[in-house]
Amino acid sequence: MTFRRVWMAGAMVAAAGLIVSVASAQTGASVEGDWIVQDKSGRVRIAPCKTDASRLCGVIVSMPQPNDAKGQPKRDGNNPNAAMKSRTILGLPLITGFKPTGPGKWGDGRIYNPQDGKTYKSKLELAGNGTLKVSGCVLVICQAQTWTRAN
């Protein structure tokens, strides 16, 4: 190989690396990590799903009051599935199956609300100020919360 061919090959590899870097930056910042829910009733850890690493899931990792009045761990008592009523709220899968839908946006996911035992279609959007907008919908009625990144 001549010097020119070596230089051209190196330039093409560098250009390919730059294209990959730009494409990664355009997909938006990561939402992976710990988030404090709007009412400060818990902290949710968002990470790739164990069953499909291309999607995001989240579990409740801490709560200011993880125990009930009797000192026992709070349970998922509102779950319509009797077999799941005994699982603890701490460690509970809260969000599942989110995939990237655009820069700073994830959709096609579900969010579980332990307060009513229902699961809702949901989407996530990373705001410019670093907060996370979490919206859940039933038919055409949607509600949103703003989560803040935990330190």
Percent of the chain with pLDDT over 70: 81
| Same domain, residue pair 48 and 85 | yes
Percent of the chain with pLDDT over 90: 74
- Tokens in use for 149? 């990144």
Structural domain range at position 3: 1-29
| Same domain, residue pair 21 and 66 | no
CATH number at residue 67: 2.40.128.520
| Same domain, residue pair 61 and 18 | no
Q: Report how many domains make up the chain.
A: 2
| Same domain, residue pair 16 and 70 | no
Return the pLDDT at 18.
Answer: 31
- Determine which helix (DSSP H) or strand (DSSP E) holds 13, and give its type and residue range: helix 3-26
| Same domain, residue pair 18 and 75 | no
Question: pLDDT tens-digit profile of 93-121?
Answer: 999 999 999 999 999 999 999 999 999 99
| Same domain, residue pair 52 and 1 | no
Question: pLDDT tens-digit profile of 11-31?
Answer: 333 333 333 333 333 345 789
Question: pLDDT tens-digit profile of 53-77?
Answer: 999 999 999 999 999 999 999 999 9
Return the pLDDT at 28.
Answer: 53
Strand partners, 93: 59
Q: Which of 150, 144, 142 is nearest to 124 (CA)?
A: 144
Question: Who contacts 108 (Cβ-Cβ below 8 Å, separation ≥6)?
Answer: 97, 98, 99, 101
| Same domain, residue pair 16 and 46 | no
pTM metric for this prediction = 0.78
| Same domain, residue pair 25 and 35 | no
Return the pLDDT at 140.
Answer: 81
Higher pLDDT, 112 or 9: 112
| Same domain, residue pair 43 and 82 | yes
pLDDT band at 92 (very low <50, low <70, confident <90, very high): very high
